[in-house]
């Protein structure tokens, strides 16, 4: 975290973290959030929370999420609009998992939102399959861990809130295949979409999460 005495330098920064499921976009969104002091907005976490609470959107989203598909745009866009209206979003935010198709990217434009940078984390599918089987997510606060790369201090217990860190239902291998299919069909066209706007910064996911973290921070500061 950098101290900043000159308030005039502080500016709003809206970022998008793009990448396949299991690319580490959530982990890096969390890092950036901590280092820049702007909130991480994960539509996946918000939707999982809605499912847990049995809200109307949650009920509609549940089976789609479990099958590895995309929740309908009108639901997700509504969820996002509500979230970015929050007071903590006034100095910017990191979108993690939104947009996930071109229609959602256009919806952001229609809302008049300026995106400063889009960081795309590239990881081969094979690697993704390995990573997701070891992923654990906190049922309480949504923090993400990995049994090998980012273990919880105590087995199955979230470091942050003490909640249960468990394997997500949609991280089951059959569902991962569906999610990757969804990603390649619907989400990956966003790479070209943002490349054409001159906003895309590519980062190759490294073996070591700390190395990727540096590359992501470089991409933000470039």
Residue 100 binding: pick among ligand ADP, Zn ion, none (C-beta 5-8 Å cut-off by kind): ligand ADP
**Which residues are at the interface with ligand ADP (CB under 6 A)?**
21-22, 42-44, 47, 64-65, 68-71, 76, 97-98, 100, 104, 170, 179
Residue 44 or 92 having the CB closest to ligand ADP: 44
Residue 122 or 154 having the CB closest to ligand ADP: 122
Residue 97 binding: pick among ligand ADP, Zn ion, none (C-beta 5-8 Å cut-off by kind): ligand ADP
Does the N-terminal peptide bond of residue 99 adopt cis geometry, omega within 30 degrees of 0?
yes
Residue 30 binding: pick among ligand ADP, Zn ion, none (C-beta 5-8 Å cut-off by kind): none
Residue 141 binding: pick among Zn ion, ligand ADP, none (C-beta 5-8 Å cut-off by kind): Zn ion
Distances (CA, A) of 130 to 95, 135, 143, 182: 25, 9, 19, 18
Residue 48 is among the residues annotated as catalytic for this protein: no
Residue 168 is among the residues annotated as catalytic for this protein: yes
Which structure tokens are listed for 6?
A: 């000159």
Residue 39 or 163 having the CB closest to Zn ion: 163
Residue 47 or 138 having the CB closest to ligand ADP: 47
Which structure tokens are listed for 20?
A: 């396949």
Shortest reach from residue 116's CB to ligand ADP, in Å: 19
Could you tell me if 209 and 150 are in contact, meaning their C-beta atoms sit under 8 angstroms apart?
Answer: yes
How many residues sit in the footprint of Zn ion (CB under 5 A)? 8
Residue 60 is among the residues annotated as catalytic for this protein: no
Residue 47 binding: pick among ligand ADP, Zn ion, none (C-beta 5-8 Å cut-off by kind): ligand ADP
Residue 44 or 58 having the CB closest to ligand ADP: 44
From candidates 89, 115, 147, 161, binder to Zn ion by CB under 5 A: 161
Sites of contact with Zn ion (CB under 5 A):
138, 140-141, 143, 158, 160-161, 163
Residues known to be catalytic: 25, 100, 135, 168, 179
């Amino acid at each position: 975290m950098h101290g900043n005495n000159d308030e005039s330098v502080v500016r709003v920064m809206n970022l998008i973290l793009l990448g396949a499921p299991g690319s580490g976009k959530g982990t890096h969104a969390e890092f950036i959030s901590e280092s820049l002091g702007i909130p991480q907005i994960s539509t996946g976490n918000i939707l999982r929370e809605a499912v847990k609470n049995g809200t109307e959107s949650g009920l509609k989203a549940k089976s789609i999420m479990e099958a590895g598909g995309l929740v309908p745009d009108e639901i997700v866009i509504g969820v996002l609009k509500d979230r970015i209206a929050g007071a903590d979003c006034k100095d910017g935010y990191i979108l993690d998992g939104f947009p996930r198709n071109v229609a959602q990217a256009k919806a952001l434009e229609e809302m008049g939102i300026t995106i400063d940078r889009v960081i795309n984390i590239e990881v081969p599918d094979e690697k993704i399959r390995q990573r997701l089987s070891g992923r654990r997510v906190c049922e309480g606060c949504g923090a993400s861990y990995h049994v090998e790369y980012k273990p919880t201090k105590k087995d199955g217990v979230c470091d942050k809130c003490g909640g249960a860190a468990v394997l997500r239902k949609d991280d089951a291998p059959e569902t991962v295949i569906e999610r990757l299919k969804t990603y390649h069909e619907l989400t990956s066209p966003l790479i070209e979409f943002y490349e054409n706007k001159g906003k895309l910064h590519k980062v190759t996911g490294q073996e070591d999460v700390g190395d990727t973290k540096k590359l992501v921070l470089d991409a933000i500061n470039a």
